[in-house]
Amino acid sequence: MTGPRNSSNPNAVVLSRSMVQLRVSLLLLLALLTAPACWAGSAAVALPDRHAAEAAQLMLESGGNAMDAAIAAAFVLAVTYPEAGNIGGGGFMLSYMGQEAAFLDFRESAPKTAHRDMYLDEGGNFIQHKSLIGGQASGVPGTVSGLHSAHLRYASKPWKTLLQPAIGLARDGFAVPAALARHAKERSAEIGNKTNFANYFGGLRTGEIFRQLQLAATLERIAHDPDDFYHGKIARQITAQMVKTNGLITLADMAAYKAVWRNPIQAQWRGYTILSAPPPSSGGVALIQLLQMRDFADVHFKDLWHNSPRYIHLLAEIEKRVFADRAQYLADPDFVEVPIAELLDMNYLAARATQINPTQISPAIAVPPGLESTDTTHLSILDSKGNAVSLTYTLNWDFGSGVVVEGAGFLLNNEMDDFSAKVGVPNKFGVIGNARNAIAPGKRMLSSMTPTIFLHKNKPALVIGTPGGSTIFTSVMQVILNLYDFSMPLQAAVDATRFHHQLPDATLIRHDRREITSTTRTKLQAMGYIVEPNSWGNLGDIQVIRIEGEKVQAAADSRNRGVARLIP
């Protein structure tokens, strides 16, 4: 039944594509035929690939809840979406289960031997490639701890059941989509022989069946005992890989890691309760600041059409102020005091909105912090009982550090680049920071991930999130405004061209690869802006579910290979 092992990939076997698809289809059909018909209303999923969508749908249709679907989908993405789906990274989960709002922080943490100046040379210069490629780029992974913690609190199905779709796809394989083959080829060329990445992913070809036998065995171990990842054989495999690659993660680091439950950020906006991500993510604070300042500056937005030059300029003015606050005040709340209440105070935001220049670019020096003194992936799920999960997790850049744990078959993250390795020096996403986000043992690096849920009368009204590094919260904000300012249909709101602006560059506006008009570009340039395509491609990969009364809609961003489904 199997073909010859691919000698360039120790973790892959080429199979008959039709044979694998038949086997997977039969397994799904058997599960669906035995599923109890227990749902009363519409459920929905919006995920970045069809395999994860199928796993989530299977869990919901077989009687599981939104958390069951989210966990199953997250493990599948570790197999079929290796650019960002992971067990070697970390992230954040916002949930609304049984009308209880909760936020789970499973962000990676710095190893115990990490230190503030570890990426500086003798002259104090930042050596960025060390924070991006190789063993020293990785923080202690949090995904397995996070998903298991979520299972213990909210899931209804057995842990082993939730991992079966991922195990099957790793063992039996899946057809490689063109985007994955292209990304893997590009990353292989970028990394070269600096890591073992090409040995595992360099041979991917569009349409071929990709089996990951080492990863299947790892997932089997996690299904049997999730603690194995932090205390058993998998932990030893990770630390052995650290020794080979001059990394810092030790068995003590693995054993010490714990996911943390935190209170989600909450705010009122236009009759909705916004639930979003607290620090160590900057996303929730930034998103609420963006939306509130837009409303305080409403006089400037009157009669503007969507993505007009003046509209883009006004959003850029707001984004400047948000990024100034992000750089100055936000970091891991377990290490520094973060003034969340002050940053979200209505009087403060109203005052910040008055500083917007409606006709000219505010230079960076005129936008100080206001108070005194690519690749990620996202999934949104709603079950028939009104439970919702918004989950964003990541390896950071595409395929993380490029280091694959040999014998275990999974990639490790390069999240250490999200610390401020040197004050005032931008990271890979162009974001600057200060000493509050400096590297320290056990500390969690600042993030921009923005898993978000809107509530209306204590029921979910919107479940949304996206990847995109520092562009995450600006992308989420634009889709929200497309819906609530411009009354766009859901898919159109997601697919519309997006723009991004951030400090320290006071004049650069980036747009995704969607078409922009020459008139818009010319008028922005006449104001003094530099207008360019985003350097790493499209801005975000939005996955969103919207609920209006009894009407449920779901949309997956057409920029990528996402799938949205309604489940009656």
- State the DSSP code for 109: B
Catalytic residues: 376
Three-class secondary structure of residue 512 per DSSP: coil
- Dig out the tokens for 256 from the structure: 């010490």
Q: Give the number of other Cβ atoms within 10 Å of residue 124's Cβ.
A: 8
Quickly list DSSP for 281-333. Answer: BSHHHHHHHHHHHHHHTHHHHTTPPTT-HHHHHHHHHHHHHHHHHHHHH-S-T
Quickly list DSSP for 353-378. Answer: HHT--SSSPPPGGG---SS---EEEE
Three-class secondary structure of residue 133 per DSSP: coil
- Dig out the tokens for 296 from the structure: 């305080």
Q: Say if CB 401 and CB 429 are below 8 A apart.
A: no
- Dig out the tokens for 196 from the structure: 């073992």
Contacts of 347 (CB under 8 A, 6+ apart): none
Q: How far is CA 497 from the centre of its chain?
A: 20
For residue 349, give the amino acid letter.
Answer: L
Q: Which of 244, 257, 256 is nearest to 141 (CA)?
A: 257
Handedness of CA 190, 193, 195, 200 (dihedral sign): positive
Between CA 191 and CA 402 the distance in angstroms is: 7
